[in-house]
């Protein structure tokens, strides 16, 4: 049977890797591109015919995905931190 701490370790590692990646040019580029895509989608939403439900929905989805990318990274970093806290607390309890 797998040790339940394995999943916590994997979560903590991924969160740590993403946190370290925040300081890279690649991360800054991806965030910049996501923000630019979001801004373009918002502009498209402002210009779209409000009676064109498909165009409105497409612009909303575009803006939402761009915003979600950064949110996913931030959420995983926080999950990784929490997993690390749980592992540290378990070590103190287990001795």
Per residue in 63-73, pLDDT (tens digit) is 898 889 889 99
- Is the pLDDT at 61 greater than 80? The verdict is yes
Please report, for the chain, how many H helices and E strands are present, in that order. Answer: 3, 0
Mean pLDDT within 56-83: 91
Tally of domains in the chain: 1
Mean per-residue pLDDT, 70-84 = 94
Per-residue pLDDT of 1-49, as tens digits, reads 578 789 999 999 999 999 999 999 999 999 999 999 999 999 999 999 9
Say how far apart CA 14 and CA 31 lie, in whole Å.
18
Q: Is the pLDDT of residue 58 over 70?
A: yes
Length of the chain, in residues: 95
Domain that holds residue 23: 5-94
């Amino acid at each position: 049977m797998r040790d339940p701490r394995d999943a916590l370790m994997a979560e903590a590692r991924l969160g740590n890797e993403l946190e370290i990646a925040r300081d890279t040019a690649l991360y800054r580029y991806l965030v910049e591109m996501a923000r630019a895509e979001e801004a373009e989608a918002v502009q498209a939403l402002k210009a779209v015919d409000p009676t064109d439900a498909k165009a409105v929905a497409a612009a909303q989805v575009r803006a939402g995905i761009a915003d979600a990318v950064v949110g996913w990274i931030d959420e995983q970093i926080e999950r990784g931190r929490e997993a690390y806290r749980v592992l540290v607390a378990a070590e103190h309890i287990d001795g």
